[in-house]
Homo-oligomer: A and B are copies of this chain.
Amino acid sequence: MAPTRLRARADYESLVDKYDTFLFDCDGVIWTGSTVIPGAPAALDLLRRRGKRLVFVTNNSAKSRQDYVQKFARLGIQAEADEIFSSAYATAVYLRDVVRFDTAKKAYVVGGSGVRHELEAVGISATGHADSALPIDLDSIRDVRADPDVGAVVCGLDYDISYRKLATAHVNLAENRDCLFIATNDDRTLPGGRYMYPGSGSLLQVLVHSTQRKPLVMGKPNAPMMECILQRFHLDPARTCMVGDRLDTDILFGISGGLSTLCVLSGVADEASILAPDAPQATYYTASLGDLAALAA
């Protein structure tokens, strides 16, 4: 069925009535970079007042949930750490609850402090963060060895990536087939102002190619993140709506999870791409999340 454009007040009332929980992508929906999208805070307030559960779903693994709460606060939006579901947190929850990761083992992290802090918060030792400070060359590389205590290699966006980290992750994955290979997300690029830069899905390719192994990818649009969210909040997919600006990540993510979806035009997708018959078919679309704020008037 073709996506339904929401326009009238009754359309928005009907949307809010139909769902108990709204999952939100953040960049392009609630803010763009460090600028809040007009009306978005008021729309979130309205949904809260109507008793809806809000979950903010982000592939960004560089920040911890506490860092995210601070970002929301700076933009004048109240949010709780429990409402934030980052790919780093999803990775930690997945290792603890789904894999039942042996906490006598540790995770080798090629990623930022967000991943490390979330793993540690669920009782999993994380290592690797200090390794980039050690230089490496053709001789000292021989000291990089597989460690039988490494039970998982976890990759995310890593501004501090180094050959030593990559080599250490590689030997653990190559020498120990039981070592899990998990990626927080596989975004090819990362927006950074005027340009795009390599995303964690690109950094990950070093190890995919060198080990010839495929990682389990947690983040949108992949299934593990959705499984974690549905399980964590005991959600009924039929009463849950995913709101996003990207068809190939957010909307596909919602569709794959059996959710309804709302695509907004304040980010990447435009109306033509939403209506293209070969695109993931959103349930609804509207100009901006701010449109819902009209219900408060």
Contact = CB atoms under 8 A, between A and B. Distances in A.
A167 B198 contact: yes
A171 interface: yes
Interface string A228-271: 00000000000000000000000000000000000000000000
A221 to B, nearest CB: 17
Interface string A121-164: 00000000000000111100110111000000000001111110
Contacts of A205: 202, 205-206, 208-209
Contacts of A188: 209-210
B195 A210 contact: no
A201 interface: yes
A175 B188 CA distance: 16
Contacts of A196: 170, 174
Contact of A209 (B138, B160, B167, B201): B201
Contacts of A194: 142, 145
A167 B197 contact: yes
Contact of A192 (B138, B159, B166, B193): B138
A203 to B, nearest CB: 6
Nearest to A63: B138
A199 interface: yes
Contact of A206 (B136, B192, B203): B203
Interface of A: 62, 135-138, 141-142, 144-146, 158-163, 166-167, 170-171, 174-175, 188-189, 192-199, 201-203, 205-210
